[in-house]
Amino acid sequence: MDSSIMDNPINSLNGLNISSTNKSPFQSPFLQVDPTIFRSPDVISSEFIFPDGGTKPSRGRFEMAFSQIGGSIMTGAVIGGAIGTFKGLKEVAQMNESFAIKRSHMLNFITRNGASIANTFGSITLVYSAIGVGLSFVQDENDDINTMIAATTTGTLYGAISRSKAMDNVQGSLLTRMRLKRAGFGLTFGLLAGAALIILLNPDSKMISQLKHR
């Protein structure tokens, strides 16, 4: 093997006729090819492979959906467990039973409330993620629009479909008005939640920058 190649491996490629406008900082003397010639000009100059196609420096909505759903379920379980603990302590304080019975009542309150709120949070996040993933196939230029549409749609659907105790014995037009009212509250809450997600998770978004320049 030529000793000049081993002494100066980077300069050993200077004699090759490689038409590349952007030389890589590292060139292997064993490869003898500049890897930048295989890179498409419309693809970002990254050395990593991304699950959603390799055109973004961050995870796509589909990849983020799993962590979002799991995180929301765990958050709901913690909140529900705390509420169950508070209710259980109030209930147990009024009981004249043994410690084992009081402990069972406490565990029932914690698991029941924790599972209920975790299921609610998980269902809402699942619908939000599904809508967001679907919208990402329609347009992917401005993800803030997808976030706002997914959040407002999810809030509206949850408000219109969910039931409260006041709706148990209500039927007809009154029930319709109550559902529309709850849908309006859900739309407002979804709009505010979508704006909060953009501000917290994407402070450099196009929407925020446009509002700052006004």
Residue 85 has a pLDDT of 92
Task: Please state, rounded to an integer, the average pLDDT across all residues of the chain.
Answer: 77
Q: Which amino acid is at 11?
A: N
Find the mean pLDDT for residues 46-67. 63
111-124 pLDDT, tens per residue?
999 999 999 999 99
The rounded distance, in Å, linking the Cα atoms of 55 and 49 is 9
157-197 pLDDT, tens per residue?
998 888 777 777 778 888 888 888 889 999 999 999 988 88
Collapsing DSSP to helix, strand or coil, 140 comes out as coil
Residue 10 has a pLDDT of 45
Lowest pLDDT segment from 35-39, 64-68, 130-134, 148-152: 35-39
Residue 40: pLDDT band (50, 70, 90) is low
How distant, in Å, are the alpha carbons of 77, 91, 93, 146 from that of 105? 18, 8, 11, 44
Among 172, 170, 207, 171, smallest CA distance to 191 is for 207
pTM of the model: 0.66
Cβ–Cβ < 8 Å for 133, 111:
no
The rounded distance, in Å, linking the Cα atoms of 58 and 52 is 9
